[in-house]
Amino acid sequence: MHILHDFKFAKRQIAKRPGFAAAVILTLALGIGANSAIFSMINGLMLKPLPYPEGEQLVAVYNTYPKMGLPNAGVSVPDYIDRRDRTEVFQSTAMYTWNGMNLTGEGNPERLLALRTTPSLFEVLRIKPMLGRTLGEEHAEIGNDRAVVLSHGLWQAAFGAREGIVGEDIRLNGEPYEVVGVMPAGFVFPNQNVQLWMPFAFTPQQMSDEERGREFSNMIARLKPGASTEQAQQQVDRIHEINRERAPAGVAEFWANSGFGGRVVNYREELIGELRGPLWLLQVAVAFVLLIACANVANLMLARVTARRRELSVRKAMGAASRRIVAQILCESGLLALLGGFAGLLVAWYGLELLTLAGLGSTNELFDIRLDGTVFAFALGIAMTTGVLFGVVPALAAVRGNTAEVLKEGGRSASSGRGAQLTRSTLVVAQVAIAAMLLVGSGLLIRSFMELQGTDAGFNPEGVLTAGLSLPDNPYDDPAAMRDFHDRLVARLEAIPGVVAAGMTNVAPFEGGNSQSSYSIEGYEPGPGENSPHGMVRRADSGYFEAMEIPVLSGRAFTPEDGPDNPVAVIDEILARRYFPDENPIGRRIGFDDEENPEWFTVVGVVGTVKHSGLDEQVSKETYYLPIRNAAVGSPTLVLRTAMPPAGLIDPLREAVREIDPQLPLTRIRTMEEMIDVSLQTRRAPMLLLMVFAGVALALSAIGIYGVLAYSVSQRTGELGVRMALGARIGDILQLVMRQGGRLVAIGLALGLVAALALTGMISSQLYGVSRFDPFVLIGVVVFLGLIAALACLIPAWRAACVNPIEALRYE
């Protein structure tokens, strides 16, 4: 009965002061909503089960070369077979590699992303098809691998959701493939872009030891119940130890010098990647924002309790127990917090949309990121927690003090004691300190982002348009046919009005390619404990360097005369400095010193170093370029430089490719600036969001400072009137109030900067070119926060200075 009565009483009290209630609810909504939005991201990415039965048993397995700066490499077929057959912790394993397929015969040719996989993949994932069946072991045999499983989306879009498609043939790259099944809606592996799953049938050559080192595939496995990632890692390590013992001396030496081994990682951890750090950083930031909100609300509640001191004293004098008064005030704060929580869910809904637009969160549809029951429970939990946090101090203040003294005042004043004033001041200091911490963090990220944007990528991205092609094996697997196609297409592209230069490469910077290979330098012998040189390898033509404006530092780029009878290479300046520090590398030869089939390329030019994966990349690995005209590249990238807006070239580009071969679809049409912009998302999103949260914290802190000083001035009206009546000037009153607020701000700033310096280690991995002790940021925060705080202090100070002494004395 007491609880129901307290609840009704709390409703009446809130209804009496709708302005007060609105201020509290909106303040809490901001804090609770921001926390709930970030938590929904964390919940979807890190806490919810993956959409596969017992998904936490899934692990990714890589080859690794840590001494060569290559922590994650692909897996060769022999390595996969070793791990499949010689480990006891894996319940099932699968190997897969990416393939691009052109779907023809269903209207215009369509480029599809396919996954060539061992049939065991569906056993590993434990997902059954919606129609038909999945790939069977019989499809893993060469000659019997013309089968395909369709995604639900492709089945609907390209085949009209016909159930009879199972058993029919479709044409992929001009060849017939039998549709054996259709996966259910919502099935994703490894991401939503994959629309086909095809058999990966191993040839005898691929399964031989000679194939070790051809690491173009990925491996996924399911652990047995009770097995751990650490146990799997130990067994994989043991396999590599045994293999090293029986390997030829040269191979064993290479493995030892490179640190070659296997790496087993939880599959979820691999999917989340670099998002974990920014998400936890933002969760900490919004928790601080919520603390500031609680401090503000606590100050509001203290002021309200102070205004009700006479009422509460009367109730105590009439026999009300202190615990009943505390319970009623806590009930009021709890009801306000609950209303703030519901409003916060609305803020979280919009906030989640903004987080997605900002680029935070995974684009992989494997993850279910939304406001669900768990997020609702989280919002309710923090609402109730905040209700206690900001309610307990006012509740305790309500039952302190001398009842008789309050009643003697006769209602002339509702002044509070020193304890309440100290509490308010402490809350303001905490608000300023937290705001300073968030401002330092956001300032460092802003400075870092500015430094990053000004970084030279090694090429000029402005005015560059890129597009992908998918070339079927027939006829483009023949180098002569590839040369003819290349020359005709590039000539046609260069003829497009507005095109300044056009070229082709196997993979453009920021496109996600990680093609690397060991090579030899004629006349160079690695020292003891060293392997042959290892670097990034790219295929390109002369138009590529011109279109990207990659500077040629010495020698020349490729020319049409560089045919298979005249094999040449272009190297970057890192390779030139590393292996030819005191000589001209032009004319030297690099290549592949295979005893059976050696292949050497004469260096004809040195070009500038290019960042391939991101502006924050610390390039330490060299790059060498080989002519693309002389190789069968299945998925080349076209690169065009234009003097007009790149978007205006898309239609002419499509028409040019259609004229050369109408069966070739264009894919991945993007400007280079767009690709760089996407690469910056994981840095931009935390920066923008932390900046927003710091702004909210700053605003709430300024409101808190203003509120405390305004309340203090209202309580000291009589004192100020006496001072002015005795001759105090306006400047004296301004100084008096400003000194009070300035003291609180100074203490808060000092504590905030000390805490910021201690906690900025959390964002050190997000910084580029900026120290976390950057003096420009620290001084800027002090000045900026000091100015805002001074403004918040000035308004109540001016009001105090404008007090009419006569009116003030009457008030007293």
pLDDT digits (tens, 9 = 90+) for 680-713: 877 887 888 788 888 888 887 777 777 766 666 6
What number is the average pLDDT over the span 640-656?
90
C-alpha count within 13 angstroms, C-beta hemisphere, residue 404: 0
For the chain, give percent helix, strand, coil, nearest 5: 55, 15, 30
pLDDT at 317: 59
Q: Which residue has the higher pLDDT, 663 or 76?
A: 76
Domain co-membership, 240 together with 99:
yes
φ, ψ of residue 559 to 5 degrees: the values are -135, 165
pLDDT at 403: 47
**Last residue in a domain, options 638, 664, 690:** 664
- The answer to whether position 43 is within a domain reads yes
Residue 151 near residue 196 (C-beta atoms within 8 A): yes
Residue 724 near residue 409 (C-beta atoms within 8 A): no
pLDDT at 601: 94
Domain co-membership, 429 together with 408:
no
Residue 384, CA distances (Å) to 340, 379, 574 in order? 10, 9, 59
What number is the average pLDDT over the span 559-586?
91
Distance CA 665, CA 111 (A): 6
Alpha helices in 318-402 (DSSP H): 322-357, 373-398
Residue 241 near residue 101 (C-beta atoms within 8 A): no
Give the highest mean pLDDT range of 21-35, 155-169, 320-334.
155-169
What number is the average pLDDT over the span 770-776?
87
Alpha helices in 498-623 (DSSP H): 542-548, 573-579
Domain co-membership, 522 together with 475:
yes
pLDDT at 810 over 60: no
Distance CA 197, CA 172 (A): 12
Q: Which residue has the higher pLDDT, 665 or 79?
A: 79
What number is the average pLDDT over the span 106-135?
88
Residue 80 near residue 62 (C-beta atoms within 8 A): no
pLDDT at 566: 86
pLDDT at 404: 45
Domain co-membership, 725 together with 578:
no
Task: State the DSSP code for 49.
Answer: P
pLDDT at 309: 60
Q: At what angle do helices 229-246 and 249-258 cross, to 10 degrees?
A: 140
What number is the average pLDDT over the span 656-675?
87
Distance CA 508, CA 670 (A): 11
DSSP three-state, residue 565 = coil
pLDDT at 407: 43
pLDDT at 312 over 80: no
Q: Closest by alpha carbon to 689, among 367, 343, 445?
A: 445
pLDDT at 693: 81
Q: Mean pLDDT lowest for which of 5-14, 336-345, 478-487, 696-705?
A: 5-14
Amino acid at residue number 707: G
Average pLDDT, the chain: 83
pLDDT at 106: 59
Q: Which residue has the higher pLDDT, 668 or 514?
A: 668
pLDDT at 264: 95
φ, ψ of residue 504 to 5 degrees: the values are -140, 145
Structure confidence by residue, pLDDT tens digits, 233-243? 999 999 999 98
Q: Which residue has the higher pLDDT, 812 or 586?
A: 586
Distance CA 609, CA 574 (A): 7
pLDDT at 642: 93
- The answer to whether position 459 is within a domain reads no
pLDDT at 381 over 50: yes
Domain co-membership, 632 together with 698:
no
Domain co-membership, 223 together with 297:
no
**Last residue in a domain, options 414, 437, 462:** 414
What number is the average pLDDT over the span 659-684?
85
Domain co-membership, 477 together with 607:
yes
pLDDT at 762 over 50: yes
pLDDT at 37: 87
Domain co-membership, 229 together with 87:
yes
Q: How confident is the model at residue 38 (pLDDT cuts 50, 70, 90)?
A: confident
What number is the average pLDDT over the span 365-387?
84
DSSP three-state, residue 496 = coil
pLDDT at 277 over 80: no
pLDDT at 415 over 60: no
pLDDT at 60: 95
pLDDT at 613: 86
Q: Are strands 637-642 and 464-469 parallel, antiparallel or unpaired?
A: antiparallel
Distance CA 233, CA 265 (A): 8
Domain co-membership, 373 together with 493:
no
Residue 208 near residue 40 (C-beta atoms within 8 A): no
Token digits of residue 89: 């912790």
Q: How confident is the model at residue 411 (pLDDT cuts 50, 70, 90)?
A: very low
Token digits of residue 446: 């802003």
Distance CA 342, CA 22 (A): 13
What number is the average pLDDT over the span 112-139?
93
Token digits of residue 50: 């993956």
Residue 215 near residue 262 (C-beta atoms within 8 A): no
- The answer to whether position 461 is within a domain reads no
pLDDT at 580: 93
pLDDT at 410: 46
Alpha helices in 208-275 (DSSP H): 229-246, 249-258, 267-272
Q: Are strands 175-182 and 147-150 parallel, antiparallel or unpaired?
A: parallel
What number is the average pLDDT over the span 612-632?
88
What number is the average pLDDT over the span 160-182?
90
The pTM is what?
A: 0.77
Q: How confident is the model at residue 94 (pLDDT cuts 50, 70, 90)?
A: very high
Residues making up the chain, counted from first to last: 812
Domain co-membership, 736 together with 719:
yes
- The answer to whether position 693 is within a domain reads yes
Handedness of CA 476, 477, 478, 483 (dihedral sign): positive
pLDDT at 725: 64
C-alpha count within 13 angstroms, C-beta hemisphere, residue 394: 30
Q: Which residue has the higher pLDDT, 543 or 684?
A: 543
Q: Which residue has the higher pLDDT, 213 or 811?
A: 213
pLDDT at 718: 59
Q: Which residue has the higher pLDDT, 365 or 639?
A: 639
- The answer to whether position 17 is within a domain reads yes
- The answer to whether position 148 is within a domain reads yes
Percent of the chain with pLDDT over 90: 29
Domain co-membership, 733 together with 717:
yes
φ, ψ of residue 223 to 5 degrees: the values are -75, 150
pLDDT at 463 over 80: yes
Domain co-membership, 107 together with 171:
yes
Structure confidence by residue, pLDDT tens digits, 41-73? 888 888 888 889 999 999 999 999 888 878 888
Q: Mean pLDDT lowest for which of 59-63, 276-280, 797-801?
A: 797-801
Q: Mean pLDDT lowest for which of 316-330, 466-480, 700-714?
A: 316-330
* Number of domains, the chain: 4
Distance CA 271, CA 667 (A): 24
pLDDT at 10 over 60: yes
pLDDT at 429 over 60: yes
Quick one: how far is CA 792 from the chain centroid?
36
- The answer to whether position 490 is within a domain reads yes
- The answer to whether position 409 is within a domain reads yes
φ, ψ of residue 325 to 5 degrees: the values are -65, -45
Domain that residue 740 falls in: 425-454+681-812
pLDDT at 35: 86
Give, for 229, the enclosing helix (H) or strand (E): helix 229-246
pLDDT at 691: 81
**Last residue in a domain, options 637, 664, 691:** 664
Q: How confident is the model at residue 616 (pLDDT cuts 50, 70, 90)?
A: confident
Q: Mean pLDDT lowest for which of 83-92, 558-567, 729-738, 784-793?
A: 729-738
